[in-house]
Amino acid sequence: MGSVDKQSNFLLIERTGEIVDEQKQVVYRVGRFLGKGGFARCYEVLPNGSTTTLAAKIVSRETIHKSTARSKMVQEIRIQRELKHANVVRMLDHFTDALNVCCVLELCPNGTLNDVIRRRRALSEEEARYFIGHVAEGLKFLRDSNIIHRDIKPANLFIDSNMVLKIGDFGLAIYDSDKRSGCCGTPNYMAPEVFEKREYSFEVDVWALGCVTYCMLVGKPPFDTGILEKTSQKIRRCDYILPSHLSDSARKLITDMLHLNREERLRIHEVQSTEFFNVGYYPTSLPREFFVRTPTFDQGAYVLPPPESVVDESTGLLYRTEGYLYTGQFGNIYSMTIEGEDQLFEAMVIDKKRISQTEGLQERIVEEILALSTVNHLNIVTLMKHITDGDSIYLLYEPCISYPLSRLLKRRRRLCEEEARFYMNQIAEGLRYLHHDVAIVHGDISTDSVCLNSEMNIKICNFGLAICNFGLAVRVETSSGDVSRGLPKHIAPELHETGSTYEADMWALGCTLYELLTGGDMMGGSSLSALDISTPAEDIIARLTDTDREQRLRVDELPGTRFFRMIFCPESMPTSTLSTMPEFSTYIASQDVNEAQEVY
Q: How far is CA 218 from CA 128, 146, 258, 293, in A?
A: 11, 31, 15, 15
Same domain, 77 and 190: no
What local confidence, expressed as pLDDT, does residue 10 receive? 64
Picking from 95, 91, 99, the residue whose alpha carbon sits closest to that of residue 27 is 95
What is the per-residue pLDDT for 297?
82
- Identify the H or E element spanning 26: strand 26-37
Q: Are residues 368 and 459 in the same domain?
A: no
Kindly state whether residues 147 and 284 are assigned to the same domain: yes
Question: Where is the binding site for ATP, in residues?
Answer: 57
Asked, for residue 481, whether it belongs to a domain, the answer is no
**For the chain, what is the largest distance between any 2 Cα atoms, rounded to a whole number of angstroms?**
89
Q: How many CA atoms lie within 13 A of 127 on its CB side?
A: 26
Question: Are 584 and 568 contacting, i.e. CB atoms less than 8 angstroms apart?
Answer: yes
Q: How many domains does the chain have?
A: 4
Q: Is the pLDDT of residue 479 over 70?
A: no
35: domain CATH number?
3.30.200.20
Q: For the full predicted model, state whether its pTM sits above 0.85.
A: no
Rg (CA), the chain: 28
Q: Which of 74, 105, 136 is the last residue of a domain?
A: 105
Looking at the structure, tell me whether residues 131 and 167 fall in a common domain: yes
- CA proximity to 152, closest of 172, 124, 137, 126: 172
In this structure, is residue 509 part of a structural domain? yes
**Could you say which DSSP state residue 85 is in?**
-
Distance CA 551, CA 555 (A): 12
User: Alpha-carbon distance 151 to 184, whole Å?
Assistant: 8
> Do 161 and 213 sit in the same domain of this protein?
yes
CB within 8 A of 30, min separation 6: which ones? Answer: 13, 14, 16, 17, 18, 19, 43, 44, 45, 56
Q: Give just the sign of the alpha carbon dihedral 418, 422, 425, 430.
A: negative
User: Is the pLDDT assigned to residue 211 strictly greater than 90?
Assistant: yes
The answer to whether residues 91 and 164 belong to one domain is: no
- Confirm whether 302 is domain-assigned: no
SS3 455: coil
pLDDT band for position 35 (cuts 50, 70, 90):
confident
Residue 475: its pLDDT value, please?
41
Quote the percentage of the chain above a pLDDT of 90. 68
Q: Mark whether 448 and 509 lie in a shared domain.
A: yes
On whether residue 304 sits in a domain, the answer given is no
Domain that holds residue 88: 10-105
Encode pLDDT of 103-133 as tens digits: 999 999 999 999 999 999 999 999 999 999 9
C-alpha pair distances (Å), 548 with each of 39, 481, 492, 545: 61, 17, 10, 8
- Both 446 and 563 in a single domain? yes
Q: How would you classify residue 33: left for phi > 0, otherwise alpha for psi between -120 and 50, otherwise beta?
A: beta
CA–CA distance, 514 with 421 (Å, rounded to integer): 12
End of a domain among 290, 320, 346?
Answer: 290
- Calculate the average pLDDT of the chain: 89
Residues 512 and 574 in one domain: yes
Strand partners, 392: 351
Say yes or no to pLDDT of 1 above 60: no
Predicted confidence (pLDDT) at residue 69 exceeds the cutoff of 90: no
pLDDT of residue 496: 84
Is the CB of residue 142 less than 8 Å from the CB of residue 88?
yes
Residues 466 and 392 in one domain: no
Segment 32-39 shows an average pLDDT of 83
- Binding site: what residues are annotated? 57
Does residue 286 share a domain with residue 240? yes
In three-state form (DSSP H/G/I as H, E/B as E, the rest C), the secondary structure along 162-228 is: CCCEEECCCCCCEECCCCCCCCCCCHHHCCHHHHCCCCCCCHHHHHHHHHHHHHHHHCCCCCCCCCH
pLDDT for 529: 62
pLDDT in tens, 398-420: 999 999 999 999 999 899 999 99
The phi, psi pair for 472, rounded to 5°, reads -100, 10
Helix 248-257 with 203-218: angle, nearest 10 deg: 150
- pLDDT of 481 above 60: no
- pLDDT confidence tier of residue 484, bands split at 50, 70 and 90: low
**Is position 37 within any domain?**
yes
Instruction: State the CATH number of the domain containing residue 238.
Output: 1.10.510.10
CB 588 within 8 A of CB 570: no
Task: Tell me which H or E stretch contains 277.
Answer: helix 275-278
Whether residues 60 and 201 fall in one domain: no
Residue 420: other Cβ atoms inside 10 A: 22
Is 128 or 60 the better-scoring residue by pLDDT? Answer: 128
Of the residues 397, 427, 451, the one at which a domain ends? 397
For 247-273, what is each residue's pLDDT tens digit?
999 999 999 999 999 999 999 999 999
- 552: helix, strand or coil: coil
